[in-house]
Structure 1
Amino acid sequence: MAGRVAGKVALITGAARGQGRAEAIRLAQEGADVIAVDIAGPLPSVSYPSPTPADLDETVRLVEKTGRRARAVQADVRDLAALRAGVEPAVAELGGLDIIVANAGICVPRPWDEVTEQIFDDTLGVNVRGVWNTVMAGAGHLVERGGGSIILISSAAGLKVQPFLLPYTTSKWAVRGMAKAFATELARHHIRVNSVHPTGVNTPMAGETLGAAFAKGFEGDPRLAGMLTNLLPVTITEPEDVADTVLFLASDESKYVTAHELAPDAGVTEF
């Protein structure tokens, strides 16, 4: 079915690469114009490579290749003023806003007693405050539009405990609750709010650094290794798999789905 979000405008954070880029391309393929937001610079606390302005430009190019319009916004989601300053002119230029995908996030795996104050603050700053900022920067436009869909990207770690991810797990449970809270108050404006809970996704976040951190943790407590096992016989999913879920929630196919958790998690939360 082509054109499932035809004529709509989507705001996507963390869009320079990986999951955010896949979401931007998938929505564009189905007819949406895209506001692609990313820090496109150093990420706090993480050891995996940070996105670059060239990455963000490539996302714009790939969206435009589908025939849709794209606008890049280089901003840190932790900075509400900067986010609004970038989003407002893009919304005006594209003629409104219908879809918000709060995708930006970081992950810093550590055993509990190696988590620093900086890691904890950075993780909650990006993954919780950044998600709130994203909704606050865009939800008013959906109210003006008379409805829309807000999609908050959480994690399987927002449905069940996962080891060596204390700040990350804390943040993703908060995102799950935030989706329900926003859904409650925005429902009267015909705005749906849902959270998405993937298993491991093949992005820079899930690279060698993450694997090495888990391996080190499991050496100290091997009993916990099974907590990351998918029920389906796959070790990792692709960004496009999550993008398909986002498309469903952005489209009218999910017009009565709100305050819900959708989990493309390969069954990992069933263990």
Structure 2
Amino acid sequence: MSVRDKVALVTGAGRGIGEAIADRLAAQGASVAVCDLDQEAAVKVAAQLAERHSVRATGVGVDISDSVAVRKAVERVTGELGPVDILVNNAAVDVIGRFVDSAEETWDRIIAVNLRGTLTMTRAVLDSMTERGGGRVVLIASDAGRVGSSGEVVYSATKGGVIAFGKALAREVARHGITVNSVCPGPTDTALLGQVAEYSQKMYDATVRAIPLRRVARPAEIAGVVAFLASDDAAYMTGQTLSVSGGLTMV
């Protein structure tokens, strides 16, 4: 299962699941563009990947909700590493709380990053993939988008949209050798899960108890599934949605 000599662009890779994905792809020999809103974090992670795995890596600061910034970021990555072979749309934001207590500005930001940002970044790499006759797009969705999640109504809506986008896009681009699949992490040891605990320790504890494997995921466990979908071993998989949730959701 190799992605060696491929160019991978991972959004939200300055920390958490995105960083773990970037590390796994670099460990398997891919050149990696670490993209994150936090440019300092992106540059730091890229430098660590280059040193740890002896691969080419670059850190790029980009707000994926800004279409102009996205185009510039992809142009920079292409100039430094080459055309993008693997796109992992991981960047996302959330605010935990009841929907009736939320503000429209919060809705707008969550939608702009999680859904529109995913569309914008994907569109920015598709022409090149089509011209070269192949590519891998992996969308980091969420089981919140499959079954809903209390305290994450708008987030759930955007992740449901990401899943639907991936299925429809997979149908359109399959003829060009491009696959599109979604990964839905369950509760994972990240800052986002920390928000849940801050909002309600009772909710957090109940969620963990409900997981058949009796623990939250490690970011590296999500990264392994993404690396598989990015590899040649998954060449005949497209339009699929995989839950990595320790059995919390079985849909």
In 2 relative to 1, CA 134–212 (structure 1 residues): closer, same or farther, beyond 3 Å? same
Deviation at 1:124, TM superposition (A): 0.8
Residue 58 of structure 1: aligned partner: 44
- Taking the TM superposition and a 5 Å limit, the aligned residue runs for 1:164-203 are 164-203=151-190
Name the SS for the 2:200 alignment partner: helix
CA shift at 1:269, angstroms? 1.1
Residue 192 of structure 2 aligns with which residue?
205
In structure 2, what is the Cα distance between the partners aligned to 1:266 and 1:174? 23
Give the CA deviation at 1:93: 2.6
Q: Secondary structure at the match of 1:193?
A: strand
Could you say which residue in structure 2 is the equivalent of 1:103? 90
Alpha carbons 2:78, 2:84 under 8 Å: kept: yes
**Partner Cα distance (1:150, 1:213) in 2:** 33
In the alignment, is residue 88 of structure 1 matched against residue 75 of structure 2?
Answer: yes
Q: CA contact under 8 A between 1:13 and 1:104: conserved in structure 2? A: yes
| One-letter amino acid matched to 2:198 | A
Q: Structure 2 matches for 1:25-36, cutoff 5 A?
A: 25-36=23-34
RMSD over aligned Cα atoms:
2.0
Q: CA offsets per residue over residues 186-245 of structure 1, 9 Å max, x none?
A: 1110000000001111112222x32121347x5xxxxxx5698212221x1111111001
2:218 to 238, 246, 252: 238
- What is the one-letter code of the residue matched to 1:129? R
Could you list the per-position Cα deviations for residues 57-77 of structure 1 after superposition, in whole angstroms to 9, with x for gaps in the alignment?
221112102011112221100
Distance 1:134 1:95 in 2: 16
Quick check: 2:34–2:57 contact (8 Å CA) kept in 1?
A: yes
Say whether residues 1:260 and 2:236 are aligned partners: no
TM-score, normalised by the number of residues in structure 1: 0.87
Which whole-Å CA distance do the structure 2 matches of 1:138 and 1:214 have between them? 39
Amino acid at match of 1:133: T
After superposition, give the CA deviation of every residue in 1:103-124 in whole Å (9 maximum; x if it has no partner): 0001111112111111111111
1:130-149 Cα deviation digits (max 9, x unpaired): 10011011122211221011
Q: TM-score, normalised by structure 2?
A: 0.94
Tell me the secondary structure at the aligned position of residue 248 of structure 1: helix
Retained in 1: the 8 A contact 2:89–2:140?
A: yes
Correspondence for 1:150: 137
Deviation at 1:90, TM superposition (A): 1.6
Off by >3 Å, runs of 4+ in structure 1: 225-228
Q: Number of paired residues?
A: 250
Supply the AA of the counterpart residue of 2:66. Answer: D
Q: Give me the whole-angstrom Cα distance separating, in 2, the residues matched to 1:145 and 1:203.
A: 36
Select between 197-206 and 187-196 the one with higher mean Cα deviation.
197-206
State the secondary structure of the residue aligned to 1:197.
strand
Change (3 A) 1:226 1:96: closer
Q: Which runs of 5+ in 1 are unaligned?
A: 41-52, 219-224
Cα distance change, pair 240–226 in 1 and its aligned pair in 2 (3 A): closer
Is the alpha carbon distance of 1:158 and 1:227 closer, same or farther for their aligned partners in structure 2, counting shifts above 3 Å?
farther
Deviations 1:18-69 (A, max 9, x none): 11111111001001001111111xxxxxxxxxxxx33212211121020111
Instruction: Determine if contact 2:212/2:247 at 8 Å carries over to the other structure.
Output: yes
Q: Percent identity?
A: 36
Check the 8 A contact 1:152/1:196 in 2, yes or no. yes
